[in-house]
Amino acid sequence: MSGPKPLSQAPRDAILTWYADAARTLPFRATTDPYAILVSEMMAQQTQAARAGEAWTRFMADFPMVEVLAAAAPADVLRAWRGLGYNRRALDLWRTAGLIVERFGGTVPRDLVALESLPGVGPYTARAVAALAFGLPVGAVDTNVRRVLGRIVAGDAGTLAPAALQRLADESVPPDRPGEWTHALMDVGATLCHPQRPDCGLCPARPWCRFPGTSKGHIRATREGQAPFRSTSRWLRGRIVERLREAPNGNWVVLERSIGEHDGAAVAAAARSLANDGLLELDGASGIDLRARLPIA
């Protein structure tokens, strides 16, 4: 099957040498516990690594073992998720813990198919856990890795089909150092290979990279979105969950008739959407006032 050739030994060695000196200090990088690594990777989805690291330390103090997390009330897990956003991930992690206890005897599976069968665990998270926790030579492709590898081999990740990029990532992993390699590529992408104005002069892969010589070496800044963040349903959903976190466990909370720029109809729609996702419970007999609480079971 045709596709880009994997990275050769020279750029891999250069990236790993750079990483040995420039690696980010993140608390979850000190552990080899598969459960702790799984927690960190699910937290780091769509969240900056530094912020995920702070939350991970607190979360692991509350739920140090997968059995503890599986036995916890979902409301407690949602409270511990404070500050991370995308609260559905908290329930996915809680459900995943339950399945690991029920199906796998409390041991995080090392098989990719088994990992991907867990709630909230997609191809990237499964491969990250497999590489970091079990030393399997598989390539975890997140946004940073996609950009780094795509630029090195093709000048632009957008020119590579997802399947081709995944093959490139898998075949480029140093078989004896998959964990370090995973972190190294992420760090190159996070600290040097920025979407706009990358620090090419400091990049260890520059001698082999096709990006600096392409017409896309100078990228136009892209607009972040069409709507102000406070006007989005995601913002509203986050404020509702945050409001419920402040209430004692099991207590009903009357939701405001309006929140920020959102009127009562929008608040009610967001609350019902959150209830459908299992992130809160609604009081069906609340009459005019809409009452909600974090799920208690």
- Among residues 41, 116, 171, 224, the one annotated as catalytic is 41
Please say if the pLDDT value at position 280 is more than 70: yes
The answer to whether residues 39 and 53 touch, using CB atoms and an 8 Å cutoff, is no
pLDDT digits (tens, 9 = 90+) for 102-149: 999 999 999 999 999 999 999 999 999 999 999 999 999 999 999 999
Q: Tokens 């090419």 sit at which residue?
A: 200
| Cα gap 183→29, rounded to integer Å | 9
Tell how far CA 74 is from the center of its chain. Answer: 20
Average pLDDT over residues 3-10: 89
C-alpha dist (Å) from residue 201 to 19, 55, 136, 212: 16, 33, 32, 10
The pair of structure tokens assigned to 257 is 């008739």
DSSP-assigned letter for residue 4 = P
Could you give the count of Cα atoms lying within 13 Å of 173 in the half-sphere of its Cβ?
Answer: 27
Distance (Å, whole) CA 262 – CA 168? 45
| Residue 196 neighbours by CB under 8 Å, 6+ apart | 219, 220, 221, 222
Q: Degrees (nearest 5) of the Cα angle 137, 50, 25?
A: 65
pLDDT for position 222: 36
**52-90 pLDDT tens trace:** 999 999 999 999 999 999 999 999 999 999 888 888 899
Q: What mean pLDDT comes out for the span 226-230?
A: 58
Rounded Cα distance, 32 and 27, in Å: 12
**Within 10 Å of residue 145's Cβ, how many Cβ atoms?**
27
DSSP per-residue letters across 205-255: TGGG-SSTTSGGGSPPPPP--SS-GGGSHHHHHHHHHHHHHTSPTT--EEP
Residue 281 backbone zone (phi > 0: left; psi -120 to 50: alpha; other: beta):
beta
Would you say residue 257 has pLDDT above 80? no
Name residue 237's amino acid. R
Residue of 214 and 52 predicted with greater confidence: 52
Q: Which residue in this structure is represented by tokens 């009903």?
A: 252
Highest mean pLDDT among 134-138, 155-159, 273-277: 134-138
CA atoms within 13 A on the CB side of 89: 22
Tokens (6 digits) for 65: 């073992």
CB 286: neighbour CB atoms within 10 A? 13
Specify whether 41 is catalytic: yes
Distance, in Å, from the CA atom of 63 to the CA atom of 97, rounded to the nearest integer, reads: 11
Return the closest-CA partner of residue 205 out of 3, 5, 12: 12
Strand partners, 282: 292
